[in-house]
Amino acid sequence: MTVDELSRIANRLRLDVVETVHDAGDGHPGPCMSIADIMAVLFFEEMKLDPANPRWPERDRFVLSKGHACPILYAALARKGYFPLEELKGLRSLGSFLQGHPDMNKIPGVDTVSGSLGNGVAIGLGMAMGCRMQGIENYVYAIVGDGEEEEGIIWEAAMAAAKFKAGNLIVFADLNNHQSGGKVTELSSLYPVADKWNAFHWHVQEIDGHDIAQIQAAIAEAKKVTDKPSLIACKTVKGKNIPYMEDNNAWHKRVPTDEEVEIAREALKDKI
């Protein structure tokens, strides 16, 4: 797939999020926008998946550690063919399988529950080790937010992953410098993030998380490293490509009005 095609898919997913959160009357749109380009590359090019057989043992695994960004995961799964697009309208509705955080027991294509922040690296490591023990040649991809890297379990898992030389584990850090309560740099001393992962003996790359070609190249590079887990530190913008959401933390959890949905459609109409 070309860079332009993947970029258009990312924007299609962004608009799906705006529309579904609007329909639901609840949800977290801002945190979805910063990972849209990563999601497009993973789900529409990189990952070995079979939507007709969601539990195919040889598949790559995916962990959305920042589980509140699930509207974009649901959009990706629907557009990939795991379930009908119309189901997106059920987001957060009573009786729908698409609730406010992902449920692996109810949603085809979801490999783990998530949303209790900080667990994604440990879950991904468990999957990576389990697959390796079974002789499955695949990759486990996880996306963690920067705010959730304040959780201690992230670093316990980071230590263990290096010890076990989990070369089949590739983690994206979504560095949008926002978390629910404000700017990450004002709430903790997390940054510089890449230095910390280096100190934990991971293979670390720093990229622009909205540059499709850089995302593709970083994954290719990570796959060459077989004796270390990989961290791809992605500089991103919360709310990316939705004009009124960009770098505005008010959109962490907020519902677009009818007019704001139209503004998003207009902003993206030539980019989808």
Select from 29, 30, 109, 145 the one that contacts Mg ion (CB under 5 A). Answer: 145
Only segment of 39-47, 171-179, 186-194, 239-247 that touches Mg ion (CB under 5 A):
171-179
Select from 146, 149, 151, 260 the one that contacts Mg ion (CB under 5 A). Answer: 146
Closest separation in Å from C-beta 179 to Mg ion: 5
176 in contact with Mg ion (CB under 5 A): yes
Contact by Cβ (8 Å): 111, 62: yes
Closest separation in Å from C-beta 147 to Mg ion: 5
Only segment of 50-58, 161-169, 178-186, 227-235 that touches Mg ion (CB under 5 A):
178-186
Query: Which residues 147-166 are close enough to bind Mg ion by CB under 5 A?
Result: 147
Only segment of 127-135, 168-176, 214-222, 227-235 that touches Mg ion (CB under 5 A):
168-176
First-to-final CA distance of the chain? 15
d(C-alpha 268, C-alpha 259), whole Å: 14
Residue type, 49: L
Smaller CB distance to Mg ion: residue 53 or 188?
188
Considering Cα of 38, then 13, then 66, then 163, what sign does the dihedral take?
A: negative
Q: Which are the contacts of 33, defined by CB distance < 8 A and separation ≥ 6? A: 14, 17, 72, 237, 238, 239, 240, 241, 242, 245
Count other Cβ atoms within 10 Å, centred on residue 185: 12
71 in contact with Mg ion (CB under 5 A): no
Running DSSP on this structure, what letter comes out for residue 220? H
Smaller CB distance to Mg ion: residue 20 or 179?
179
30 in contact with Mg ion (CB under 5 A): no
29 in contact with Mg ion (CB under 5 A): no
β-strand pairing of 182-183 with 178-179: antiparallel
Closest separation in Å from C-beta 238 to Mg ion: 6
d(C-alpha 221, C-alpha 11), whole Å: 25
Closest separation in Å from C-beta 211 to Mg ion: 18
Binding site for Mg ion (CB under 5 A): 145-147, 176, 178
